[in-house]
Structure formats: C-alpha cells, structure tokens
Structure 1
Amino acid sequence: MNNLPYLIPSQAIQFEEEIKKSVFITHLAHTSSIELAKAFVEQVKAEHADARHNCWAFVAGRPEDSMKWGFSDDGEPSGTAGKPILAQLSGSGVGEITAVVTRYSGGIKLGTGGLVKAYGGGVQQALKLLQTIEKKITTKLILELDYGFMPIAQSLFPQFGALEVNAEYSESVKMVVEIEQRQVSDFTQTIINKSGAKVRVTNLDKQ
C-alpha cells in the first residue's frame, strides 16, 4: 500500500469555451470515491439535461491507481471524449478528481480530431486553474506507557508530526496518536529505543 501523500482538488472549478459554435463547459470536482465521482457526474447531467453530451472521466483514488479510473463518451464517437479527458486527469498527478465536460452543440461538426482536442483541451485549461492540497495518508497508533515516559513520548510528537487524539489515564497511560504512515516505523523504533522498550506501540489499523 502506497503511503506517500498526494494532491487532491481543494475546490471545484468550471472552465467554459466556444469552439466552432459549440460551447464546452468543463466541471472539475473533488470526489474521494467511485460512488461520489458517479454522483457528481449525475449532478452535472441533471443541471445540463438539455446539453447534447455530458462526457466524463474520473480518477477516484490515488493518481496512479488505475483500478479507480472510469470514463464515458456519452454518445460522442468512441474514443473522442472520455479517453482524452481521462488522459488529462491521469497525467495531472492529482487524485480524487472527476471531470465532466458538457457540450452544447452549435451544429458545426468538429470531426474526431477536433473533438479530442476540444474535450482534452478544456480539461487541460481547467486543470491550470485548479488549486490543490496535499492529502496525507495517516494511521492511528496506541501507545501504552508508564507516567514516567510521558515526557519522552510527547517530545517526539513534533519531530514526527504525530497528533495526540485521545488519552486514558489509569495505572498507566494509554494514548491514541495519529501519524503519517510513512513515519510509523521510524517513530516506533525511536520511542522504543528512548524508553528502553518500555512503551508498547500497537497500530490500530492492523489489529
């Protein structure tokens, strides 16, 4: 499982252009699952029910996870819409993103090359406007320790970007911390070394 952070959209974007009397409106949105991606497609289709085509593609997980890709030409000639849209998305390095391109036809045929350029180009332009944030892949650890080791544990949190989520105090202390997955092994090793193996670390996700 890849635990490196990746970029996701921080807000929705719309980009509109007219090509040979056809109006193309590109909608981009953050969709963190295939279900949400499909729901966004349906939402745009409902808003533009009078448009001739609402072609779409999504990358519903990590940018490189092709198991979560999907696309549709929505009635345009095969390969002229969905694939060029997906090519732009998958090449952008942004994950959890869906693009729907609405086309209001102006009666002039664009030809297959023209369609590929229009659909792919609209998404390319919209992506230039897109602002992204980094999605960190985190996990939760349970630390079980005696009170005397609290200062050692807490001094390590800032170093590894760990956040204390919860703590229970009885004979000993049981803390839940959230930490990036890529920091888990270093953090665990450091806290065990510094406490002389007196701190127990359990990964909540692996129980």
Structure 2
Amino acid sequence: MSSQPSGRYRVPDLLPETSFERETEVKRSRFITFLSRVTSRAEALSFQQSLRKQFPDASHHCLAFIAGPPEGNTVMGFDDDGEPGGTAGKPMLNVLQHRQIGEVAAVVVRYFGGTRLGAGGLVRAYGASVQAAVEQLPVVECVPMVRGTAVLDYASEQAFRHWLESLSGQIIDCDYTDQVVIQVELPEVNRMGFTSRITESLKGKIALNWQE
C-alpha cells in the first residue's frame, strides 16, 4: 500500500459526466479502460451501463469500483461480466486499492481478438489495463472532513481555538450570546483526538456534537 498520510487518499480529477480513457492490446484482444469519479454503487453501475450502450459489440464490460475512501467501511465491488470468476473485476479492484484511489469506477471494455488468454492471462491483462490507465489518470488529494458544533464559555474560547488549529481544524461560524457557539470543520481522522484533548483541557465544560 501507499504510504500516504492517514485519512488521505486520491480521487480522479475529472469533471462530472466525464471519464478518462486508455487502451492496451494483448494477443490481439483490445482492452479499453475507462475511469470515472463515482460516489455510490448506483453511479458505478450507471457508468458501466453507459459503456455497454456505447460499445454494444464488445465482448465484455468489466467493472470495479470504490465509492469512497479505498480503506474502511466503503461501498466497493466488481463485476466480471461473463469472464471466468475472479479473472477481471477482482484484479481491477486490487489495482485501485493498491494505488489508494477512491471515489472511482473502472470499466474495461474488451474486444476478443481470437486467442484465449487463460485464467492467469486474463488476470494479468485486466490488472495491467487498469494499471496503465491509473498511471496517467489526473488525481487530486482528498481529505475527508467532518463538521461539528461546540458550545462553551468565553473563558474557554482561546484554548478551544488552539487545539482546533493544532489538528488542522477551522472555524466555519461563531456566534456570541450568553455562551460561545462555534461551528467547526476538521479532518475526520483527527476527530477523536480533538474530542479527547479538548474535553480534557476544558475539564468537560463543553458541549461538542458532530454531524454524522
């Protein structure tokens, strides 16, 4: 796996309704890989279906997708689309996970070239096809964020701001009434650490609620 900082991953730098295309050839079979940004299983399946319509004469339209971060409780899956089980979608998915790319769907459109590749050959061909595509795919770093609301007294505000800044958080809004009501945002990976530190620092004199 990549050694990227915890909580960070890469996503395709693509506009909505666009995709990235890369073609390879193995023993006269054409493998055309399409990559698109998706955030749900439905979007991934819709992307696959759109390519079925675009290339109706192709032999297979194999799919792999990760609808969120490449690790954790993410919706992900694959479809061999008629190829022998485990020879297409799974190696495609393995490449996406290994490269730490999330919110992505890969569809490999295959045109059979007349020579059977065997199970091992198919695994290598589908994996290599996606690998070649992701190596050229424009990506941007994604840092999952979480928002929350804190209610505290005036005397605690300075300490609160200190701990928030130290963990890469920022204030979205602040309202001063009889207490200070602060809307914050910070990296999801830092949420537990921030909650623990600020609760200990202010000795529990804070109400902190996170949006789920």
TM interval, shorter chain, is: 0.7 to 0.9
Tell me how far 1:193 sits from its aligned partner: 5.5
Matches within 5 A, 1:83-98: 83-98=90-105
* Corresponding residue SS for 2:85: coil
TM-score w.r.t. the length of structure 1 is: 0.79
1:195 and 1:78 map into 2 onto residues whose CA distance is: 56
How much does 1:156 deviate? 3.8
1:172-191 to 2 correspondence within 5 Å? 172-191=179-198
Kindly indicate whether the alpha-carbon contact (under 8 Å) linking 2:33 and 2:108 is maintained by their aligned counterparts in 1. yes
Pick from 203, 208, 211 the counterpart of residue 202 of structure 1: 208
Q: Kindly report which structure 2 residues correspond to 1:1-207, keeping only aligned pairs within 5 A, or say none.
A: 4-11=6-13, 12-65=19-72, 68-192=75-199, 195=202, 198=205, 200-205=206-211
CA contact (8 A) 1:8 1:134 kept: yes
Q: For residues 162 and 64 of structure 1, what CA distance do their matches in structure 2 show?
A: 23
Measure, in 2, the Cα distance between the counterparts of 1:138 and 1:72: 31
Mean CA deviation greater in 13-22 or 186-195? 186-195
Secondary structure of the corresponding residue to residue 88 of structure 1: helix
Cα offset for 1:195?
5.0
Q: Kindly tell me the number of residue pairs found equivalent between the two proteins.
A: 202
Instruction: Give the conservation status (yes or no) of the 8 Å contact 1:188–1:201.
Output: no
CA deviation after TM superposition for structure 1 residue 123, in Å: 1.0
Between structures 1 and 2, the one with greater helix share: 1
Instruction: Give the counterpart letter for 1:203 in structure 2.
Output: N
Give 5+ residue unaligned stretches, structure 1: none
Q: By how many angstroms is 1:124 displaced?
A: 1.5
Q: Once the two structures are superposed, what CA deviation does each residue of 1:147-174 show, in whole Å capped at 9, x if it has no partner?
A: 4444443344322211212222322221
CA contact under 8 A between 2:12 and 2:103: conserved in structure 1?
no
Distance 1:64 1:100, change over 3 A: same
The AA in structure 2 aligned to 1:6 is: R
**Post-superposition shift, 1:54?**
0.8
Moved more, 91-100 or 186-195: 186-195
Instruction: State which drifts further: 39-48 or 133-142.
Output: 133-142
3-state SS in 1 of match to 2:100: coil
Instruction: Letter of the 1:52 partner, please give it.
Output: S
Deviation at 1:100, TM superposition (A): 0.5
For the 8 Å contact 1:15–1:27, the answer to whether it is kept is: yes
TM-score scaled to structure 2, two decimals?
A: 0.78
The 1-side partners of 2:167 and 2:73 are apart by 31
Instruction: Find the structure with the greater CA-based Rg.
Output: 1
Secondary structure in structure 2 of the residue aligned to 1:94: coil
Identity of aligned residues (%): 35
Once the two structures are superposed, residues 97-144 of structure 1 have per-residue CA deviations (whole angstroms, 9 ceiling, x without a partner) of: 221001123334334333222212101211222344333333223222
Structure 2, unmatched stretches of 5+, are 1-5, 14-18
Q: Distance in 2 between matches of 1:66 and 1:154?
A: 31
1: CA distance between counterparts of 2:72 and 2:197? 32
Q: Indicate the RMSD between aligned Cα atoms, in angstroms.
A: 2.8
